[in-house]
Amino acid sequence: MTALLIENARLLDPATGRDTLGALLIENGRIASLTGAPADGIPRFDAGGACLAPGLIDLRASLGEPGHEHRETIASAALAAAAGGITTICATPDTDPVVNDPALVQFMARRGDATGSLTILPYAAATRGTEISEYGLLREAGAIAFTDAPRAIASARTMRLALSYARAFGAFIMQHPEEPTLATGGVATEGEMATRMGLPGIPMAAEAMMVARDIALARITGGHVHFSCVSTAAALDLIRAAKAENLHVTADTAPPYFDLSETAIGEYRTYAKLSPPLRPDSERQAVAAALRDGTLDAVCSAHRPCDADDKRLPFVQAEPGGAGLATLLGVTLAQVHNAALPLLDALALLTSKPAALLGLESGRLAPGAPADLVLFDLERGWQVKAGALPGKAQNTPFDGRPLEGRVRATFKAGRKVFGA
């Protein structure tokens, strides 16, 4: 029997509201108890009063491999994830080849297992050309849900079929909510700043229009639509109303949309070119408010690796996307430090809430749960520096951002995979 006692830890479990100083016993890769009274001879790890929480569950990340290994490999993403306290990643299917075959779904999961530090839950492609994919076979192979991210499912007819078909297999459709005919060619949010910089704009209404359409389709089909990286107040109002109607609608956002505004693209900073684009500060505040009131179900990294050649281009030509694995926890904790969110509520958006959405047994501190854990110093400061991040992808929109809250150790199935 392999065992470890983590003692002198601040135990944080958003699923139950636990916030106590104590110890956690691990046996055979799972949490055995939170009583801290093991038999003699069990190895001990002194947490030194640091916070011990469930390992983070990242609801959306692009991993590059297969096909784009020059940007990121699964091995390099696993290093960055462990350094960020992430133990589970839901990987988007925008690889080459696209994940629309059961063998590729199984390949992604196996590659995650091979790292020893990361569980990969693959999304499968929602569509194959103009038709929907074979959801039954893909689900049987291990697909967690279906999406065409980073692009939207443009056809209303196709989306209706997708929602109906996915419902039959107990899965949801994750939508990148951006009306494509309005977004084509745009690189920044339409408005004063885009005009001043001479950049083609995307109207914010493109997001709300797609959200409104898909809520209507969820109402018709009874299917579950999940909107990812929501970034505007109008879209959030629609989601809030849909939830009040008890429709099967959920949503997430990513740290740039509650921590940065469109001013971050000033001086044509391509590391801050994202999809959807950064918004005016009023929209950032609306996203932060939606974290507080429960409109948003999760915070994801929206990790999208780009190499230097992708970003060292004129702003219009540069690839959109930001590295987000190593900064997911720290930027979310900024909402705690500025008193916008209680600590357990912030952690719930990264652990128990995505776990509940996906039907996972992880994401909680409870006997029998997987011992996927993150230990972090809540007050320890650090600065994000592009070029010095763990992993291969360095295209962070948070370059230079000071943060409080640093990961000290990450445990996967009870084994320490990051930390001294």
The pTM score is: 0.97
Say what the pLDDT of residue 129 is: 86
* Domains present along the chain, CATH in parentheses: 55-363 (3.20.20.140)
260-281 mean pLDDT: 98
Q: Reduced to 3 states, what is the DSSP secondary structure of residue 58?
A: strand
* Confidence class for position 2, pLDDT limits 50, 70, 90: confident
Say what the pLDDT of residue 165 is: 97
Say what the pLDDT of residue 147 is: 98
225: pLDDT strictly greater than 60: yes
CA distances from 163 to 140, 181, 203, 309 (A): 17, 22, 26, 38
Who contacts 226 (Cβ-Cβ below 8 Å, separation ≥6)?
Answer: 145, 172, 173, 174, 175, 249, 250, 251, 252, 297, 357
Q: What is the DSSP string of 308-376?
A: HHHHSS-TTTSPP-B--TTTHHHHHHHHHHTTSS-HHHHHHTTTHHHHHHHT-S-SS--TTSB--EEEE
Say what the pLDDT of residue 45 is: 93
326: pLDDT strictly greater than 60: yes
249: pLDDT strictly greater than 80: yes
The answer to whether the beta carbons of residues 269 and 245 sit under 8 Å apart is: no
* Confidence class for position 101, pLDDT limits 50, 70, 90: very high
For the stretch 75-93, pLDDT in tens is: 999 999 999 999 999 999 9
The answer to whether the beta carbons of residues 257 and 281 sit under 8 Å apart is: no
From the list 125, 131, 162, the residue with the least C-alpha distance to 147 is: 125
Place of tokens 């530090």: 117
Amino acid, res. 324: G
194: pLDDT strictly greater than 90: yes
Pairing mode of beta strands 373-383, 51-54: antiparallel
* Confidence class for position 40, pLDDT limits 50, 70, 90: confident
Mean pLDDT of the residues in the chain? 96
Identify whether 314 is preceded by a cis peptide bond (ω within 30 of 0): no
Say what the pLDDT of residue 130 is: 85
Say what the pLDDT of residue 35 is: 76
Please give the structure tokens belonging to residue 328: 């997911």
17-26 mean pLDDT: 96
Say what the pLDDT of residue 37 is: 63
> What b/e string do you get for 263-302 counting C-beta neighbours within 10 Å, with b at 16 or more?
ebbeeeebbbbbbbbbbbeebbebbbebbeeebbbbbbbb
For the stretch 197-214, pLDDT in tens is: 999 999 999 999 999 999
CA distances from 215 to 145, 211, 220 (A): 18, 6, 9
Q: What gap in Å lies between CA 138 and CA 132, rounded to an integer?
A: 12
Q: Reduced to 3 states, what is the DSSP secondary structure of residue 62?
A: coil
Q: What gap in Å lies between CA 27 and CA 46, rounded to an integer?
A: 17
171-190 mean pLDDT: 97
36: pLDDT strictly greater than 80: no
Say what the pLDDT of residue 38 is: 64
Amino acid, res. 242: A
40-56 mean pLDDT: 93
For the stretch 366-416, pLDDT in tens is: 999 999 999 999 999 999 999 999 999 999 999 999 999 999 999 999 999
Give, as one character, the DSSP assignment of residue 129: T
Say what the pLDDT of residue 98 is: 97
1: pLDDT strictly greater than 60: no
